[in-house]
Structure 1
C-alpha cells in the first residue's frame, strides 16, 4: 500500500508546511488567532491546536509513548478540548517544533516492514481498542494534517493574510 519512503516524504512535507504556517501565524495578533471563525474547531489557533494535539496523539500511539496529558491511553481531555492545548502562539511554536521533530525521527526509522502489519491502539473518543492495517493508520495520520492545515489556510485567506504554499511538488529538497 505505502512504504517507509512515503512516510518520510510526508513527514518532511508536514515539517515544511508547519514551518511556513508558523511564519504566517506570527504575523497575526493574538486576537486574530483566537477569533471565532465558524470553523469546526472555531479559530485559527483552535484548529492549529487540534492539529498539534492529533499529531501528538498519533505519535504517542506509534511510538508507544505518553500523549498530551502524560498518559498513552487518555488524549489530554479529548478531541473537543484539544483546541485549548496551547493558550497562545508562544506556547504553540516550540511544541509544534518538538512534535514535528518526533514525526521526522519516527519516519526516518520506520522502514517498510511495520507497514505490512496491523496496528492496535486505544481510542479515548470511542472508548475502545481498535486494530487496523498500520499503513492505513499512517495514511490517516498524514491526511488528518493536510485536512486541518487546509482549514487554517482558508481562515488565513479570509482574514486577509497570505497563506503558505501547500503544493508538495514545490517542497524544497533540503527540508
Structure 2
C-alpha cells in the first residue's frame, strides 16, 4: 500500500476513527524513533534527545489542523526529491513539500521558497524543546535560511533533503541538522 493510499484511507474514516488512527500512527512513529533496549544508538544511527519529552501541540483551536498536517507529512515519506517539485507525482524539493502539506491539509498557502517562508508572519520558536507538532523548522548555512521541514514531534521532522534522495523523517537534533537549526515558526496559532 502506497503512502498516498494510507493517507486517503485515513481521511475517509469517520472523525473519531480518524483520531484513533492518528494516535496509533503517532505511537508507532515514536516507537520507531529509537529502541528502549539500547543504552546507546547503534553505529550509523541516531536517537533524538527530544524523543522523551512530552508531545507538544499548537493551540487547542488548531489541534485538528496540526493532526491533518502530521498525517499528510508522514504519508509523503518516500516520495522522490526533485528540485522545484511540488507534487507527489512529480516529486518535492523542501519548500514545495512544506507548501503542499499545508495547502492540502490545512488550506494554508505558503511562499514558494524556504527563505520567503522564514520571513512570513508567525511566532518564532528559538528552542527545539519548545517546538510543537506542525511547526515549520528552518535550517541555515552561512547565516542564510536554506532548508525547511515540518516538525512532527518526538524530536523528528519530515523534509525533502537532497537531490537523489526521498522525503524522509530525521532527528532534528542530530549532528548535521542540530548544528544548522535556525528556528521554528508556528503557523497554526
Q: Same fold (TM over 0.5)?
A: no
More helix by share: 1
TM-score (norm 1): 0.28
TM-score (norm 2): 0.27
More strand by share: 2
Q: Which structure's relative contact order is higher, taking Cα pairs within 8 Å and 6+ residues apart?
A: 1
